[in-house]
Structures are given as C-alpha cells and as structure tokens.
Amino acid sequence: MLFSQLQFWVFFAGVFALYAVLPHRAQNRMLLVASYIFYGAWDWRFLGLIAFSTLVDYLVGARMGAENDPRRRKLLLSVSLLTNLGLLGVFKYLGFFVDSFVALSNAVGLPADPVVLGIVLPVGISFYTFQTLSYTIDIYRRDLKPCRDFLDFALFVAFFPQLVAGPIERARNLLPEIAQPRQLHWDAIGRGAVLCLVGLIKKIVIADAISPGVDAVYGNPNATGAEIIVATWLFAIQIYCDFSGYTDIARGVAKMLGFGLMRNFAQPYFATNPQEFWHRWHISLSTWLRDYLYISLGGNRGGRWHTYRNLMLTMVLGGFWHGAAWNFVLWGFYQGMLLSLHRALTGRRKGSKEGRRHGLGELLLRIATVALFFQVVCYGWLLFRAQSFEQIVTFTGRILTLNPADFGALAMPSVPVPALAGMLALLAWDLGTEARGNVRFYASWPLPFRAALYAVAIYLLAFGATTTPSAFIYFQF
C-alpha cells in the first residue's frame, strides 16, 4: 500500500476508527496487527523475517539488561549485530558481492559464470534493521533499559507509518510513547492532517510529475551537458519532495494517532556547507550514523587524520546502506570527501549558524553561498541517480565540456504546470519555515489567510495529482 493510493487511506480510516474507541492496551495490540497487515500487503513472505528479527532483539535486550559480565554482554550484542546485519547482507548485498566477484575474475583473466540468486529485497529492511540495532546498542551502552512487554516492542519495530522508509526512530523516544496512554486531540489531528496534505502535494503533484522528464534524460545516452544539468536539478527536487513527502505523511499519520515521530528534513537545500546539509537531510539516518558508527570508530578523537578516516568510513558505509551498487559507494565517498574537506578548512567550528540575524550584505552572501553549494549537492545526486559507472564518467565529461550555447537549444524536460505551481508553493513554505524556524509558522495567521492556504493546497492536490502514482524512491533501500 502506497501512501499516495486510496487503498492506504481506506486502510487508515479503518485503523483510526478502531483506535478511537479502544482502550490503551487494546490500541497497541490493534496497531501491531494493522502494522503486520500493512507490511504483509507488500509481500506476506517477509512477515516471518521481521518477526524473527523482533524476537531475537527482544530476547537479546532482555538478557543483556540482566547481565553484568562485560564479555557476556558483548557476546549478546554480537548475536544481535550478526543476526540483523547478516539478514541485511544476504537479502540486500549477497547478489552485489557475487556479481562483483564474477566481474573481477573476468577482468583478471579468470573466467567465472555469473550466479543468478533471485533474492527479493524485503521492503524497508534497511530501516527497521537500523531501528532494532539502536535498541540493543543502547541497552549495551546502558543508555536504555529493556522493554518488558514483547508486543509493545514488536509494535516499536513494525509501527506502520514509518516502517518501510523511516524516520529511523530510537527506542528511547518511541517506546515510551507506545507504553504510555494516549488520547486523541483535535489539534494534533489537524496538525497531522496538514502534514499529510503537504506530503501528498510533494509526492504526487511534484515528485511524480518530475520523474518522467528526469528518467528521459538519464535514459538518453546522447543527452547534452545542459540537459544533464537541468535534469539533475530536477532530480534534486524530485528526491527531496519524494522522501520528505513520505516523512511528512508518516509523521502526520502518527501524529493523528498521538505519536510524535522525529523530523527528518529541515530545508536541506538552504545549507551552505556539507556539515549543515547533513544536519538537515535525512536527519534520522545522519544522527544514527554519527551515534552508532562514527563515534564507535573514534569520532574526532585521536587527531585530524583519524577524524578524516572516520568521516570517510562512515559516509562510504552510509552510501552503501542506500543500495548494493558502486554508484552509491561513490556517492558516499563523495560525501565523506566533502565533510573531510570542510572540516580541514574550518576546524571544529560548527557549520550551521541557525538563528543568526543577517544584514543585507550577509543575506546576499548567504544566498550566493546556498546557490553555489546546491550545485555541489547536485553533483552528488548525479552520482546517486546514475545507472552505471560508465554513465557517471560520460555525464561528468559532458558537464565539464559544457558549451553555454547548449542552454539556448535546450529541450526542457516536461514539467506540468501544477508541478511548477507546487514547486513555487513549496519554496514559499520552506522559506517561511526557514525564516521563522518553525514548521507551523502559518498557525498565527488570521483564519481567512489560513483558509486560503488550505484551499490552495487542496486545489493543487485535487487537480495537480498525477494519474499514475509511483512507489517512493527510498522504498528500494
């Protein structure tokens, strides 16, 4: 079930109706059943996989919480790591490693026949794997006590709004919300509905409408440098609207049920440097990588070269998390290089200057810096979107040898008028959020202005939606 399909909203209406009349413990049990129905609708065969991962981490967490012997605690953590990363490795990366080995063997003159494994990637496995790992690692670090109720823990793992594409929640945040009684409030329902509306506009009015034009350029071996640049700009908008749109809907649905999921995006294209960008983009993943990988590797302890090594390893592995393909590894390397270079140039100063008041000159400088850094981000998206290493080399070469006259003869990718209107509306929304530092900046507006805002949003959704909604991009990860 896609959030952008009527089928999901019929499902959610049924869930919400039951939720409204059930007491707390029954609400949790019903949500667990609903979450398994939601996940089973993708492929019922993977229900056993998520149930097995849930059972292992629950038992490991319970035993680890009662154990004081450091060696046994480390052994128990190893069981969780090997189980979860082993399942992720088999289902997501085994085919990649086999294909890479075959290609390498053939390259050095040792012919090898490719092996067809036919392994289907379970939707959302990367997200719920990281979510359950954060639980056992936090218990190991004694930052969290084990959950006593197995069914509550199972709901933490499988909670349907954020199950298949995040945000990657932490047990110390979500488990208390599951354990405590919740009540429905009209204010939370209204705020959740607005988030869902914004998310749907991002997805089906903007992202799905942009997708065909981007696909056409990246599927054209004869694309010019100008076409590649414009298509990559559009892909930057597409992936932002697609992924942040999913997060908005997930947070909105959860908020209507009384849960507060973490914010996953904070106007990332207003960043002026790579550090600030990763404070704003896919926040649940970037903080997970920081807390459980970068710090575990040593963080910024041990000197600058150790810091650069740790940054590179963290981002390369973060790129590999996105997909079993070399372009994701290269994208991760690129991000690690940017972060290392930025750290070398700025030292330990924070890259973000949130809340600072700007004079006109500083404001113009910031605008120019944002525009310039957006181009740096977009080259990363070219690495991310490319279909092969050969395409990366070809497209990079055409950008570097760009003839400015190509922009005059540019055949613009087709972007429907509603999508353009949606992009302008989204820009205004993000500018308002950035300026006020609050996603609910509109709440203080007089009622007629708020009513006009909602009317425009509903009009865009009603008349600008594409007729063939596509799966969210991050479902493949």
Q: Which residue from 200, 202, 209, 203 is spatially nearest to 417, judged by alpha carbons?
A: 209
Helix ranges (H only) for 219-303 are 225-256, 274-280, 283-289, 295-297
DSSP state letters, 299-324? TTTT-HHHHHHHHHHHHHHHHHHH-S
Amino acid at 331: W
From 185, 279, 306, 322, active-site residue = 322
Query: HSE on the CB side for 378, CA within 13 Å?
Result: 21
What is 185-234 written as a DSSP string?
-HHHHHHHHHHHHHHHIIIIIIIHHHHHHHHHHHT-TT--HHHHHHHHHH
Locus of tokens 């065969």: 45
Helices 304-322 and 326-346, axial angle in degrees (round to 10): 150
Q: Cα dist. 284→63, 145, 184, 266, 268 in Å?
A: 27, 21, 26, 11, 13
Q: How many CB atoms lie within 10 A of CB 364?
A: 11
Residue type at 49 in one-letter notation? L
Kindly report whether the peptide bond that precedes residue 167 is cis, defined as omega within 30 degrees of 0: yes
CA distance 19 to 179: 15
Q: Are 447 and 405 in contact (CB under 8 A)?
A: no
Rounded CA separation 282/47 (Å): 26
Separation of alpha carbons 200 and 457, rounded Å: 10
* Interatomic CA distance for residues 377 and 88, integer angstroms: 28
CA angle 137, 310, 279 (to 5 degrees): 75
What is the distance between the alpha carbons of residues 42 and 1, in angstroms, rounded to a whole number?
7
In the residue annotation, 358 being an active-site residue is answered as no
Tokens representing 303 are 């000197």
Active site residues: 322
